[in-house]
A and B are shown apart, each in its own frame.
Chain A
Amino acid sequence: MSILPQLIFLLVFALAGFIIYKRVSFLRRSIFLGKKEARNDNQDERWKTMMLVALGQKKMFKRLGPAFLHLLIYVAFIIINLEVLEFIIDGLSGQHRIFAPFLGGVYNVAMNIFEFLAIAVLVSCFAFLIRRNIMRVDRLAMKELKGWPALDANLILIIEIVLMFAILTMNATDQILAERGVEKYIALQGLFFSGLIQPIFQGMSDGTLIFIERFAWWFHIVGILAFAIYVTYSKHLHIFLAFPNTWYSNLKPKGEMKNMDEVTNEVNMMLGIQTEATGEPPAEVARFGAKDVNDLSWVNIMNAFSCTECGRCTAECPANITGKILSPRKIMMDVRDRAEEVVKSIDAGGQGLEDGKSLLGDYTTKEEINACTSCNACVEACPVNIDPLSIILQMRRYVAMEESGSPAQWNAMFQNMETSFSPWKFAPTDRFNWADQVKNQEAE
C-alpha cells in the first residue's frame, strides 16, 4: 500500500502547525505591546473564575436563547475534537477508525453522540445565520460590524455547517462500504443520523463511494486545520482566549479605578508628604493615560483579542441605547485593529507605533469616550469578562492630563474642585449650613 496519503497528511499537518505557530507569535507580540501589569494574585479565585465563566459559560446564560444554542456548538466543539484525535492518528498511521476495535460498542455509542452533536451544531449555526441575516437582531446588525466583521461572523457559521455535513457524509458512505464488505471499512452497529442520508448514496458504485468517503475525510480534517488557522485571524479567537482572559479577570470591585502611582509620587512631593518611596528616583513616565495601544495594559489588549463581537456590552450601554455613538464593542474592535496594524507595520519594516496614527483620534474619538457613564453595564454583560471601561477611562486620563482637552464643563468642574473643594461652585464655608435647620428643630 502506498504511504503517499500518509506523507501528504504529515505535510499538511506540519504546514498548518507552522502557520499557527507564526500567527500565535504575531498575536503574542500584539498583546505585549501593552504595558506590564501583574495579575497573578489570588490564584484559587482565578482558577475558579475561569472554570465558571469560560468553561462553565456562566455569564452566557444571562440571555437564555443564544446561550443554549451557543452551548450546543461549544460542547460539540470540545467533544468532536476527540474524534479529530482519531483522524490525526489515522492520517499519520494509515489506519482507519483506529479506536473502533478497542472500544467496541462504546465506539458506536460515541459515534452516535458525535453525530447528534453535529446535527445540534447544524441547527445552532442555521439559527445564528438567521438571527444575523434575516431577523437582524439589533446588536448583531450595528454599523461597526459592516464589512469584514459581518463577513467573518457568517464565514465561521458557514464553515462549521460545511464541516458538519462532511462528517455526516463521511459516516454515511463509510458504513455503506462497510456493509458491502469493502476492505478496511469497519461495520458499526448503526449510526442513526448519517443513516438518514444513506439513501442518497445507496445506488453508487464502491469506487464512487470510496472517493466520496475519502474526499469527505480529507475535507473534514483539512477543513479543521484551515479553520484553526482562520481562527487566529478572526473574532473567533475567543474559543481559546476566553480561558486566559477570564483567568486574568479583574477580581477587584468593578467600581475601583486603578491608582496611578506615578501621579501619587508627584502629589506626595507637592504636598510635602514623606513616603517610603521618597529618595528613589521617580520612575520615567512616558505618558499619563492612554493615547495609543502601548499605553494600555497587556490585559486590555488581550481583552480586545478575546472579543467575539457579540455586542452584549453595547446592547446594555446606556449611552448607546439612547443614541450616542459610544459602543463598548467598537472600543474593543478599535484596540484590536490598532494593535494588529502596529505589529504588521513592524513586521513589514515600517514605523509601527510611530506611523503618525494613534488609537485615540484615528480609531476612537473623544465624543465616544466622553459619553461613558462608567456604569459598568458593559463589564457586567461580557460573557468572557472583558473590561471596555478600563480602556475608556485610560483614554480620558490622557485627554485630561496631557491635552487638557476635556469638555469645557468638565474643566469648569475641575476648577470648582480646585478652588472650592466641590464640583459645584459653592463657598467651602457654606458646606455645613445644612445642619442649621436640623439643629434648630425639636427632636421628639
Chain B
Amino acid sequence: MSTYKVPTMAEMAASGDSPEILFWVGCAGSFDDRYKAVTQAFVKILNKVGVSFAVLGPEEACTGDPARRAGNEFLFQMQAVANIQVLNGYNIKKVVTACPHCFNTIKNEYPALGGNYEVIHHSQFLQQLINEGKVALQGGGEFKGKKITFHDSCFLGRANNVYEAPREVIKALDVELVEMKRCRTKGLCCGAGGAQMFKEPEPGKKDINIERTEEALATGAQAIAVGCPFCLTMMTDGVKNKDKENDVQVYDLAEMIAKDMGI
C-alpha cells in the first residue's frame, strides 16, 4: 500500500536528486477549488506512469502573466525574475504545466529575462504518454462513445499553434469529437484572457463566455473539454448560466484521462 507522491524541488535537491520534469502548477492549479482537482488528477497520472517529477510547492509564484497583459510590466518582471532565480537555482531544464498562460509566459517570455527551459503544455505531455503507450487507456470508460467538444484556449492555440495535441488526447478516449463552428485558428476566446479573468467586462450586449457556451452547446456535446484553468471557469459558469450543468460537464483533459484510467 503506497500513497501518491508529490515531491518538491527542495526535497529533491536535499537528497541530491533531480527530476526529469518540473510540474509548474500555477496559481489556479494551487488555489482554485475546481482546478485543484485538475492538478491532483495530473499528479496521479504522473505517479501512475512513473514519471520522475517534482513541484516547487510554496516556492512557486505567479508567472506574472496577468500583470503583464494588464500593462504592469514592472510587476511582471519582478515576478518573472524571482521565478527564474528559483528555476535556475534548481537547474531546471524541462517544465510541464496545465495552464496555457503559464506555458506561454515561461516558454516565450522568460528567455528574454534569462530563463531558458523546454516548456510543454500538459496536453502535449499527455499525448506523448499515450503515444508511447505509457498511459494505458481502458477505452470502455465513462466517456466511450460520448460526444465531446474541445474549446481551444487562445494561449495554447493561436498564441502557440498547439491545436492537435489536445484533440489527439480526447480521441484516444474513444469518443466522438465534435467541433464547434469557430475552432482551431478561428476559436473564440472564453473571455478570460488578457487579465479579463480579474475584472468585470466592459459594457456590451453579452458576456463572451455565454456566446462561447452557446456555441459549445449547439454541437450537442455531452461534455466540453478544455485545457486551461480560466477557460474551465468561464465555460463552467456559462453552462450554469444556461441551466445545463446537469446535462453537460466541463472537464480538463487530465481529469478525463485520470477518470478513464480509474484513478
Contact = CB atoms under 8 A, between A and B. Distances in A.
Interface of A: 62, 252-257, 259-260, 263-264, 266-268, 270-271, 273, 288-289, 316, 318-319, 321-326, 367, 370-377, 379-380, 393, 395-401, 406-407, 409-410, 412-414, 417-418, 421-424, 426, 428-435, 437-444
B166 interface: no
B200 A375 contact: no
A270 B77 CA distance: 11
A133 B64 CA distance: 47
Nearest to A389: B194
B75 A432 contact: no
B62 A321 contact: no
Contacts of A400: 70-73
Given A252-B108, A393-B71, A417-B64, A409 B6 contact: no
Contacts of A410: 70, 72, 195, 198-199
Interface in B1-43: 1-6, 8, 25, 27, 29-32, 36, 39-40, 43
A421 B79 contact: yes
B40 A437 contact: yes
B189 A375 contact: yes
6 contacts: A256-B104, A401-B73, A413-B198, A431-B30, A431-B58, A442-B3
B134 interface: no
B67 A443 contact: no
Contacts of B67: 413-414, 417, 423
Given A393-B71, A396-B70, A396-B71, A257 B109 contact: yes
Contacts of A316: 186
B200 A326 contact: no
A428 B154 CA distance: 28
B1 A263 contact: no
B2 A442 contact: yes
Contacts of B73: 260, 263, 288-289, 397, 400-401
Q: Which 10 residue pairs spanning A and B have beta carbons closest together?
A: A255-B159, A323-B205, A400-B71, A374-B194, A396-B71, A323-B204, A421-B61, A409-B199, A375-B189, A256-B108
A256 B78 CA distance: 17
B192 to A, nearest CB: 7
Contact of A267 (B43, B81, B104): B81
Interface stretch (B170-178, B206-214, B247-255): B206-214
B158 interface: yes
A283 to B, nearest CB: 15
B193 A271 contact: no
Given A377-B189, A435-B57, A322 B159 contact: no
Nearest to A268: B81
A423 B1 contact: no
Contacts of B263: 443-444
Interface residues of B, number: 82
Given A322-B207, A422-B27, 12 more contacts: A268-B81, A318-B188, A373-B193, A377-B186, A396-B70, A398-B71, A417-B64, A423-B67, A432-B8, A432-B30, A434-B29, A435-B57
Contact of A322 (B1, B211, B262): B211
A311 to B, nearest CB: 15
A414 to B, nearest CB: 5
Given A442-B3, A443-B44, A431 B57 contact: yes
A426 B25 CA distance: 15
B189 A413 contact: no
Interface in B113-163: 113, 154-155, 158-161
Contacts of A435: 6, 43, 55, 57
Contact of A255 (B61, B155, B201): B155
B166 to A, nearest CB: 16
B89 interface: no
A372 B194 contact: yes
A439 B193 contact: no
A373 B191 contact: yes
Contacts of A377: 154, 158, 186-189
A93 to B, nearest CB: 52
Contacts of B44: 438, 441, 443
A257 B205 CA distance: 30
Given A371-B201, A393-B71, A430 B194 contact: no
Of A268, A395, A400, most buried by chain B (CB within 10 Å of CB) is A400
Given A375-B158, A410-B199, A399 B71 contact: yes
B202 A370 contact: yes
Contact of A401 (B61, B74, B185, B207): B74
B3 A443 contact: yes
Contacts of A273: 81
A424 B233 CA distance: 14
Contacts of A399: 71
A255 B160 contact: yes
Contacts of B193: 373-375
B196 interface: yes
A414 B75 CA distance: 7
A396 B55 CA distance: 33
A264 B113 CA distance: 8
Given A399-B71, A423-B27, A441-B4, A380 B185 contact: yes
